[in-house]
Amino acid sequence: TRKSITGLVFYFAGAAIYYKTKFQNNISHSSTEAEFIAACDAGKAALYLRSIFDDIGVPQHEATIILEDNTCALMMANAKQPTRRTKHMDVRYFAIQDWAEEDLLLLEQIGTTNNNADSFTKALPRTLFYKHCLATQQKVIRLYNPCH
């Protein structure tokens, strides 16, 4: 298929608490467009998780950090409006700009070799794949210690 794959993972207290992999609904014209759409999906998931944490009495007072490895997608998300090269994209994806402006989300750069969500979206060299798998599945911090 020519559709891009969105992959994302969220951590809380060092443990992966939410992950998602899915084909995007449309065919992207570039990797930047596909990454921007994935960042918007990550933003929606972050807002959903923020509401759950708020409901259980653990409100988040600072912006949720979304890590993005595509520099151009990061620049698009931090821009104040669509450019002439992005006018063909559906307006709903630009909601991420509003969320960033409202300080609900903070988009930051991450190197591709450190992007754990890459293991959900593409074939990786074995060592990098195992590195990401360990980071997403076995990075658990003990929050409760009955001995103390």
pLDDT in tens, 94-105: 788 888 889 999
Run of H or E residues at 15: strand 15-23
Res 85 pLDDT > 70:
no
Alpha-helical (H) ranges within the chain are: 31-55, 71-78, 95-101, 126-137
Q: What is the mean pLDDT of residues 66-72?
A: 84
d(CA 139, CA 148): 22
pLDDT of residue 77: 76
pLDDT in tens, 106-146: 888 888 777 777 766 777 777 777 777 777 764 434 444 45
Count of positions (residues) in the chain = 148
The more confident residue out of 50 and 27 is 50
What average pLDDT does the chain have?
78
pLDDT in tens, 43-61: 999 999 999 999 999 999 9
pLDDT of residue 139: 44
- Strand, coil or helix: what is 106? strand
- Name the band, by pLDDT with cuts 50, 70 and 90, for residue 82: low
